[in-house]
Amino acid sequence: MNGQLDPLILAILAEEPAHGYAILQRLKERSSGAFDLAEGTIYPALHRLERDGLLSSTWSADSGRRRRVYSVTRAGSSALEVRRQEWKHFALAVEAVMG
């Protein structure tokens, strides 16, 4: 997961805005549980991505609780596209070597 959490978060939020717990659930579903990370680690990453201007967030009230809902900014979409291209090149290179 080292270094890959940021683009994974961006990819999930590019589909629709979500709060921390929902992002984790989607991450687990989409990866069929492959990513085994301490769940708390997603929050420092969310805060950092927001400080870097790649995410924005607002408070919402749901089930009587306040929660922070995150969405991707325009800069975040561009950064995600760059990371997707980098990943494709990397995956192709690995595949070419591994067969």
Partner 1 sequence: MSWLDDLSLELYARGVPRRERARIAIELGDHIACEPGCEERLGDPRELAISFADELATSEARSSAFVTFAALAVAAAVLMISQITLARVAGYPGYSNGISTLLFFPAILGVVVAPQVALVAGTLAAWRALRRRRAPQLPAAELELIRRRTRIALAAGFATMAGLELYVVDFSLRLPAWWLALVGGLAALAGVGLLGAARRLLRAQVIVSGTAGPAGDIYDDLPLVGSEWLRRRPWLLGALASVTVGLALGAFEAHAEHSVLEGIQRGAFEGVAAALGFVLLGRAVGTRR
The torsion angles phi and psi of 73, rounded to 5 degrees, stand at: -85, 175
76 binds partner 1 (CB under 8 A): no
CA 38 to chain centre: 15
Residue among 51, 94, 95, 96 that touches partner 1 (CB under 8 A): 51
CB-wise, 52 or 92, nearer to partner 1? 52
CB-wise, 16 or 39, nearer to partner 1? 39
Rounded CA separation 83/18 (Å):
21
In the complex, least distance from residue 74 CB atom to partner 1, rounded to whole angstroms:
19
